[in-house]
Structure 1
Amino acid sequence: MTARDTSPLRGPDLRDMGIDAPWDFGIADQVRFSELDILNHVNNAAYVTWFENARIAFFMGTGVSDYSADDRPTLVLRNMEVDFRQPLFLGDAYVVTARNAKVGRTSWVMEQAVFKGAELAVSASCVIVNVSRDGSRPEPLTPDLIAAIESC
């Protein structure tokens, strides 16, 4: 197995892979041995890590957060619901996608998916909350943050 380029993919790249709109952001990779479980398919926990990696790349690529400035938003994953539809196996190529679905006052809903070719393998919905620096309470989304979220 060779290392893969995990540079973000945009809409036209995804369309070429058979992944339809409204998915406009994704990261391609392939299943590694360390991600397998005793049944020789991808362990459920690996998908959560894949979703996190894509979510962070999505945030950075869309201006939601660059994770470097002192004044960046403090974003936490409040909830994630995952629907497993088909297994992936060692060496399978896949694309993890991310998109924003609904913006609220202090949080927003993101949808994510894993595609094997053009077939949906796993889908997820998660709630991201903007919290105070100490993490003790939700904070309203700023106009700049809402603009970055809605631009995607």
Structure 2
Amino acid sequence: MRGMTLAYHTPLPADMQAQLGITPPAPLAMADQVRFSELDVLQHVNNAVYMQWFERVRVKYTQIWGLSRSFGGVEGPRIVIRSGTIHYRQEMLLDEDYVVTCGCTAFRNTSFSMYQELWSGGTIRATFQCVLVLLHPDGSGRYAIPDDLKQRFIEVDGAQKET
């Protein structure tokens, strides 16, 4: 990413993702930089921090897609992780720029699968796959994914409807 100015905490357009080696471009990609506070005693990023990075972009994704609960406003569904798997591929070090991507790969009536990647220096450093379930705001039961969001999953993310 040398010679390129990254806008941190801002969705990256497809052309910027392509310049960073992220192809095909993800529905959402955001950049940041490793901080000293994220390191462990071995001087590389602590494994738990990766989950925070993935979560930050996943939450932004649900906000942009109009699905996230509002704090103090109109309530949307509760979004909970049913299951998830992370794969660590290569360590991250202090001051490295990185990009976290996020997109829906499949959906049902009240749940959807997401795939996330962590990129740095043109390589994938970690991946995270998870299944998210929507619940009514009071937790009383499942919440149906709105039809317009299902259509967006298909058209923007390239997701598949599962039966």
Using the size of structure 1 for normalisation, the TM-score is 0.88
Q: Which residue of 1 aligns with 2:74?
A: 70
Paired letter, 1:104: R
Structure 1 residue 146 displacement after superposition: 2.0
The answer to whether 1:90 aligns with 2:87 is no
The runs of 5 or more residues in structure 2 that have no matched partner are 1-6, 158-163
**Which deviates further from its counterpart, 30-39 or 18-27?**
18-27
Residues 43-70 of structure 1: CA deviation (Å, up to 9, x unaligned): 1110111001111112222333373542
Instruction: Name which of 138, 142, 159 aligns with 1:138.
Output: 142
Residues 71-122 of structure 1: CA deviation (Å, up to 9, x unaligned): 4222122222100000000111110000110011210000001001220000
The runs of 5 or more residues in structure 1 that have no matched partner are none
Distance in 2 separating the partners of 1:143 and 1:66: 18
Instruction: Name which of 12, 18, 21 aligns with 2:15.
Output: 12
Instruction: Name which of 18, 36, 41 aligns with 1:33.
Output: 36
* C-alpha contact 1:66 1:72 (8 A) present in aligned 2: yes
- How many equivalent pairs are there? 149
Distance in 2 separating the partners of 1:20 and 1:6: 20
Q: Which residue of 2 aligns with 1:108?
A: 112
**Which deviates further from its counterpart, 57-66 or 92-101?**
57-66
| Identity rate, percent | 34
RMSD (Å), alpha carbons: 1.8
Q: Which residue of 1 aligns with 2:129?
A: 125
Structure 1 residue 22 displacement after superposition: 4.6
**Which deviates further from its counterpart, 138-147 or 6-15?**
138-147
**Which deviates further from its counterpart, 12-21 or 131-140?**
131-140
SS at match of 1:94: strand
Paired letter, 2:99: V
Using the size of structure 2 for normalisation, the TM-score is 0.82
SS at match of 1:60: helix
Distance in 1 separating the partners of 2:47 and 2:139: 28
SS at match of 1:55: helix
* C-alpha contact 2:112 2:131 (8 A) present in aligned 1: yes
